[in-house]
Amino acid sequence: MKLTLHEIGRIVSAKNDYSQYEDTCISAIEFDSRKIKTGDLFLPLKGARDGHDFIEIAFENGAIATFSERPIEKPHLLVEDCLAAFQALAQYYIEKTGVDVIAVTGSNGKTTTKDMLHDILTTTYQTYKTQGNYNNEIGLPYTVLHMPDETEKLVLEMGQDHLGDIKLLSEIAKPAMAIVTLVGEAHLEFFGNREKIAEGKLQIAEGMPDNGLLLVPNDPIIEPYLPTKQEILTFGENGDLFLTDLVEEKQSLTFRTNFLESDVRLPVPGKYNAINAMVASYVAMRSGVKEADILAALAKLNLTRNRTEWKTAQNGAEILSDVYNANPTAMRLILETFSAIAKNPSGRKIVVLADMKELGPTSAQLHAQMKESISEKIDLIYLYGPEMKALAIAMAGDTRVRYYADYSEFEALKQQLLDEVQPADQVLLKGSNSMNLGQLVAALTEE
């Protein structure tokens, strides 16, 4: 990190006389006192516990100074709001380093697209990306202030739980290019409808320069919220960017785009991944990456685990695990992909669908609508959780359905799957992370 204590004090407008402390170079800024090392600056945030309670521990672990919202005897920078100071510092650091920021948001696909874009850009530039799920008002500035000194391209993921979240992150990061992967139903409980979600996602343009490039899905719902000062390109069916000749296989896919000369091959399934790769490829191309490097990077992708992953059951059955999160759009997409993959000879297609959380008052309707996405190619359907009752009712009379209503029936569901799944079967598991479908995957695969 190329920052000194006095420089940080100036940027955050510290109210105390920090010039009395040595103007030392800061090694890193940490908000977890357990991660503090010699030479670090501590950031006491207020959460379940007040970080100020851990200032002494931070100094014991090697901190040379701390932010603080009240005067203390230790070396400190006195500020009104530690988080706001942290965010202002990240904004300044982006300007100081001149790093080229590319932002990615969306109801689905933002982490995958971020990973793809990072891998492609790394062929040509020193590139850093959001680590894990550090995509909020704390995680984004943390990512900025922890990027390696030599970073040329910074790929930042931006998440939203409430309207205005993306606006804040964009104004901190000031991305030159940005991607909205999809406007789905994630967090409907907080937003109420897709229109509000679209409004929130399009606020990614708030911090962009007037000549910035914004890529958005070709979806009418976003049109009222499109900015007027940036270059806008749409992608998807009838969009400015589109794919053709898509071939889906169990663990890979190939396709063509209207801007690359050669076929694109990915070592992951799903049409949605083809769209994410297409968008990442275009941004990389506009960033100066050669087509050969784009294709080579995509061919050897290493995506974040627990998104969409094929595993092998202890008896040889094929397990498609997509248990990290769930909303109606994501569930429809994975059901579409699962149905498109050829069955094994003598094998069946089995789906295990669990509750989708944070859908608000329309939850029952959105769960019931999943009926339209379950094709005749599916042989057996397990539904789990109280929210899935709506889908069980919608599919009443369908002999393929087995419904486990209550959380207390989880063990019974696990045992039924262990008894039911045969070596030639293909099994899809999809649900919100809190539904613990990962435990079913582990039971089937003996992980």
Annotated binding site for ATP: 106-112
Q: Do the strands 401-404 and 426-430 form a parallel or antiparallel pair, or are they unpaired? A: unpaired
Q: What is the full DSSP assignment across 50-108? A: BGGGGHHHHHHTT-SEEEESS--SSSEEE-S-HHHHHHHHHHHHHHHHT-EEEEEE-SS
User: Do residues 428 and 322 make contact, with C-beta atoms less than 8 angstroms apart?
Assistant: yes
Q: What is the full DSSP assignment across 283-352? A: HHHHTT--HHHHHHHHHT--PPTTSSEEEE-TTS-EEEEE-S---HHHHHHHHHHHHHSPPPTT--EEEE
User: Do residues 331 and 356 make contact, with C-beta atoms less than 8 angstroms apart?
Assistant: yes
Of the pLDDT bands very low, low, confident and very high (cuts 50, 70, 90), residue 189 is low
Task: Examine the pLDDT at 211 and tell me if it is beyond 50.
Answer: yes
pLDDT at 186: 65
What domains are there in the chain, each with its CATH number? Answer: 5-79 (3.40.1390.10), 98-299 (3.40.1190.10), 309-445 (3.90.190.20)
Find the helix or strand (DSSP H, E) in which 276 lies: helix 271-286
Q: What mean pLDDT do residues 82-109 have?
A: 96
pLDDT tens for each residue of 273-294: 999 999 999 999 999 999 999 9
First to last CA, the chain: 40
Annotated binding site: 106-112
Task: Examine the pLDDT at 310 and tell me if it is beyond 90.
Answer: no
> Of 193, 125, 192, which is closest to residue 154 (Cα–Cα)?
125
Of the pLDDT bands very low, low, confident and very high (cuts 50, 70, 90), residue 208 is very high
Instruction: Count Cβ neighbours within 10 Å for each residue of 50-64 and write b for 16 or more, e otherwise.
Output: ebbebbeebbebebb
Q: What mean pLDDT do residues 316-335 have?
A: 90
Alpha-carbon span 444 to 298, nearest angstrom: 30
Q: What mean pLDDT do residues 436-444 have?
A: 95
User: Do residues 324 and 306 make contact, with C-beta atoms less than 8 angstroms apart?
Assistant: yes
pLDDT at 141: 98
pLDDT tens for each residue of 358-393: 888 889 999 999 999 999 999 999 999 999 999 999
Task: Examine the pLDDT at 328 and tell me if it is beyond 60.
Answer: yes
Task: Examine the pLDDT at 306 and tell me if it is beyond 50.
Answer: no
Of the pLDDT bands very low, low, confident and very high (cuts 50, 70, 90), residue 268 is confident
- pTM assigned to the model: 0.86
CB neighbours of 358 closer than 8 A, spacing ≥ 6?
186, 187, 188, 189, 190, 327
pLDDT tens for each residue of 409-426: 999 999 999 999 999 999
Task: Examine the pLDDT at 142 and tell me if it is beyond 60.
Answer: yes
